[in-house]
Amino acid sequence: MSKQDHAAVAIPPTAGGDPQDFDICIKLIDQLWALRQSMLERETALKTELDKVLPEYRQSARNLIHYLTLRSVDLRPLQDQLSRLGLSSLGRSESHVLANLDKVLGLLHRLTGQAWQDKSAQEPAGSSSSRELLKKHTLRLLGHAPTGRPVRIMVTLPTEAATDFNMVQELVDAGMDIARINCAHDSAPDWQSMAAKVRQAAKAAHRPVKVLMDLGGPKIRTGPVADRPPVLKLKPGKDELGRVFRPARLHLRPIDSTELVPNVDASVGVWEVWLARLKAGSSIHFTDARGAKRHLLVIQNNGSGAIAESLQTAYLTPETVLTIGGAGGKKKHATLVCHIDSQQGALRLFVGDSLRLTKEGLGETGGMEEDSNELYPDTAHVAVTLPQVIDQVKVGERIWFDDGRIGGVIRHKTDTWLDIEITQARPDGEKLTGDKGINLPDSQLNLPALSDKDIEDLKAVAAVADMVGLSFVQKPADIALLCTHLQRLGREDMGIVLKIETLQGFENLPELMLSAMASSLAGVMIARGDLAVECGYERLAEVQEEILWCAEAAHMPVIWATQVLEFMAKTGLPSRAEISDAGLGVRAECVMLNKGPYITQAIRTLDDILKRMGGHQAKKRPLLRALKAWSGVGTTATDAMLEALKKNY
């Protein structure tokens, strides 16, 4: 409508008559019409992508496109003006963008005395139908939510779940709705056993429990680090005054034995003939690795091994000689400490240190001997499990190790290695071991969506799982490749969960969602561990909000994952911060817990939190459940109003 047309319109008496409000209404109509037209034009431009979407996702895909258009401009000035008029500010329109916009336009037309024609036929979804679409998509992917709790609970199964049915049954009884199996660990027979026990426990509980299996994906990790020399430190327990209240206990076993016994601090292998001479009360003498004279008192020997105690700290190596006898003319009998387990290799890194990341080789500390045959003798170095990343990164880009505990910047690059300056570590340094995650948030990496191992693992996934997690998904072609393999395995019906854990995956999220809508079932996991490292911890809150909004616009279920009640699962006691974080999970359709010794307690706590918060929040929409805590304040004056409300319901 032109300005000339607007000038001929008189505001009706019922609208109030404030000329300033009238001018605001006219301006808002123009702005919203332009925004509406942009939505429809973008939808037309993306017709090719929309045609690939399955019919059951078509309206959701259209709404997603409308939402992306809505959020492509800064709406805050427009929102202030809408709020001044008492109209919807479009702040909760994610699930039904065009319908909400049309509702506001219709009201503005009425306020300015203009005719309005219903446009619901053009709208993908309305306020109610959008909730039904999300509900339908969630039910098909994740199954029913339990009574009284709107959000499902997913739990990562530990290795023991493959052999311990009672453990799995406890998880189900505590409230687990979905079992997650991580294909980065254990083996196909283990996964099959886990899934079978989940089905068995679900049947016994008379309720369904779904199984999600995560593919390992192109996770970049450190290669192995050379083990440190085998050194065993025996240390008795001492109080604040240095007095021993518990001796150190050492298990002595035959060289070829792997038997372990409880209630000891360590176990070493010795010569069997020498071991047979030990009796309760025997005294073992030795000089430890520091040259200190030490002795052990044997307290028992059951024939297959002995237990001895020490009241002093001692360091043993394979060169340590243990001796018995010699007193009162008795012959001495000696043995070497023949077997001590090697200690896990680790690189100690400080701010300012240099670390060399190589395409191959065993990780070592720097400062080796000049005649060493090692390829990198002067610098601490470790290999990367996906060597092609060395070819794809650039000097000046950031690199993070071990979930962001160690940070660095790439300073030099060759065909076979990167030199990295360590820029973040604790003052007393950080240990970097093998098999630790590497994140490269500034780098544009081109990695295979599915490794050879992933493709092989898909056979087991297709046989036993309800859903597959696509780890480190970054582009639509990654989803297309997975769908091709699922079709080959006869599992086109399998749900696909997009694990958003890289910056590139986050930035490509809308395209990923549209691509996933070409498959039978789809959902999104906010994998906050790697994502926090990739985008920066200070930006994580913003990023996870944007993922929630985008998923709601696509009517796609969300799994809120990584470090939820983690401290509680490990120690049995939650922190205050993680309780608040768990409460925010009610905005998703599923919350994931990781394994830990107190996992059943964590499940029950999360169940209670989600039940409570489910009455207060649905996605971004606050629910005004009656507040009972303050029900005694000022009730007399409102009794009549409350009675009237109750009659209407």
Average pLDDT over residues 337-354: 88
DSSP bridge pairs for 255:
none
For residue 347, the cross-strand partners are 432
**pLDDT mean over 103-117:** 94
Kindly report, residue by residue over 236-280, the tens digit of the pLDDT. Answer: 999 888 899 999 999 999 988 888 888 899 899 999 999 999 999
Q: What is the pTM of this model?
A: 0.82
Q: What percent of the chain has pLDDT over 70?
A: 92
Please tell me the predicted confidence (pLDDT) of residue 129.
96
370 vs 102, residue with greater confidence: 102
Q: What is the CATH number of domain 135-217+449-615?
A: 3.20.20.60
Q: Which among 68-72, 329-333, 378-382 has the top mean pLDDT?
A: 68-72
Give the pLDDT score at 636.
55
Fold of 347-439: M1 Pyruvate Kinase; Domain 3 (2.40.33)
pLDDT in tens, 119-152: 999 999 999 999 999 999 999 999 999 999 999 9
CA–CA dist 39, 101 (Å, integer): 11
Q: How far apart are CA 94 and CA 103, in angstroms?
A: 14
Spell out the domain ranges in the chain. 3-125, 135-217+449-615, 232-336, 347-439
pLDDT given for residue 106 in this prediction? 95
Q: pLDDT category, 1, cuts 50, 70, 90? A: very low
Q: Which residues of 221-256 are buried (b: 16+ CB within 10 A; e: fewer)?
A: bbbbbbeeeeebebebeeeeeeeeeebbbbbbbbee
Rounded CA separation 132/233 (Å): 63
Judge whether 289 and 316 are in contact, CB under 8 Å.
yes
What confidence score (pLDDT) does residue 259 get? 83
Q: Render pLDDT for 297-308 as a digit per residue (tens, 0 to 9).
A: 999 998 779 999
DSSP class per residue in 294-320: EEEEEEEE-SS-EEEEESS-EEE-TTP
Q: By the 8 A CB rule, do 591 and 582 touch?
A: yes
Beta strands in 508-639 (DSSP E): 521-527, 558-561, 590-593, 617-618, 621-622
Do the domains spanning 232-336 and 347-439 agree at the CATH topology level?
A: yes
Structure token pair of residue 78: 């427009």
Q: Give the sign of the dihedral formed by CA 287, CA 290, CA 292, CA 295.
A: negative
pLDDT of amino acid 625? 80
- Please, which pLDDT band fits residue 645 given cuts at 50, 70 and 90? low
pLDDT average, residue stretch 484-510: 95
For the segment 151-161, what is each residue's pLDDT rounded down to a tens digit?
Answer: 999 999 999 99
CA distance 504 to 317: 49
Q: Residue 338's pLDDT is what?
A: 86
- The string of DSSP letters for 174-239 reads HT--EEEEETTSS-HHHHHHHHHHHHHHHHHHTS--EEEEE---S--BB--BPPBP--EEE--EE-
CATH topology of domain 232-336: M1 Pyruvate Kinase; Domain 3 (2.40.33)
